[in-house]
Amino acid sequence: MARHGGGRGWYGKLIGAALGVTMLATGASVWTAQAGATDDSTPEAAAPTAPGSAVKPVSAAIAHASEKGKRGINITIDDGPDPKWTPQVLDLLREYGVKATFCMVGTQAQAHPDLVKKVVAAGHRLCDHSVSHNTAMDKDSQAYQSRQILDAERMITKASGGVRPMYYRAPGGAFTPYSRKLAASRGMRPLGWNVDTKDFEQPGTDAIVATVERELPNGPTLLFHDAGGDRTQTVEALRRLLPRLKEQGYSFGFPVR
């Protein structure tokens, strides 16, 4: 799983103000790592379950496989929700009877709770994609990583009306042993990908489709985006790929947990 593009990118202008709002919105009791902890430290004891909620820890190994088995495909959609593109993606998924996993950025979920609720109502799953999509967050402190993961978890859960993310995908694949353990302790399976469609770079609809068809033998988890710029090519690629893959005998499901 190579890193994909995007970087701090289009979030740069947004985050300066949004992070201040985030800290107020998510409360002052943000967990921070103990000073001097290493990447091999275990975060479970430092990230307690809120009273009345049940969080079952999951594996900290990065997931790629599909619950549908060898002929399964996991459609994963990153960086939203976005008021223009997410509804179009949802319409296509509904048209072809496909369920997907939406890896949401915390500030986007906070700004568009109506879309988060629509994603959940349609039977899709949620994934924590950090607060601010910093693709270099693996170089930052554990305290920073914990804020990015746990604040986004709270923001997405609140926006959804109480439905928690089931996965955590590090921006650009910037996982650390520490961040994987922390997410897993909160019931969020670290989520990778097998096929990076490069749709973020807008290479053309034909190129996106060709990448999927060429690289699908690498594994079942496909990476698309519904935010961060013009996603016309992504929508058109999905319009071609969903029925084509169904005709080839593939079924669509969710990543293993």
| pLDDT per position as a tens digit, 90-141 | 999 999 999 999 999 999 999 999 999 999 999 999 999 999 999 999 999 9
Report if residue 31 sits inside a domain.
no
| Average confidence (pLDDT) over 156-168 | 98
Enumerate residues 6+ apart whose C-beta is below 8 A from 70: none
pLDDT above 70: residue 4: no
Report if residue 138 sits inside a domain.
yes
**In 10 A of CB 95, how many CB atoms?**
11
pLDDT above 80: residue 40: no
Report the distance separating Cα 228 and Cα 10, nearest Å. Answer: 6
Q: Which residues are catalytic?
A: 78, 225
Report if residue 49 sits inside a domain.
no
The pLDDT of residue 54 is: 76
More confident residue, 39 or 192: 192
Number of independent structural domains in the chain: 1
The pLDDT of residue 15 is: 41
- Strand bridging mode 72-78 / 251-253: parallel
Report if residue 3 sits inside a domain.
no
Whole domain around residue 125: which residue ranges? 57-253
pLDDT above 70: residue 39: no
The pLDDT of residue 71 is: 95
Report if residue 12 sits inside a domain.
no
Beta bridge partners of 167: 127, 189
Pick the range with the lowest mean pLDDT from 20-34, 182-196, 236-250: 20-34
The pLDDT of residue 164 is: 98
Q: Which residue, chain included where needed, has tokens 């009273």?
A: 51
Report the distance separating Cα 155 and Cα 143, nearest Å. Answer: 18
CATH number, residue 172: 3.20.20.370
The pLDDT of residue 3 is: 64
Q: Which amino acid is at 207?
A: A
Report if residue 17 sits inside a domain.
no
Number of helical H runs and strand E runs in the chain? 8, 8
**In the structure, what pLDDT confidence band is assigned to residue 50 with cuts at 50, 70 and 90?**
very low
Tens digit of each residue's pLDDT (9 = 90 or more) over 164-184? 999 999 999 999 999 999 999
Report the distance separating Cα 245 and Cα 247, nearest Å. Answer: 5
| pTM given for the model | 0.84
The pLDDT of residue 1 is: 74
Q: Which residue, chain included where needed, has tokens 């990476």?
A: 223
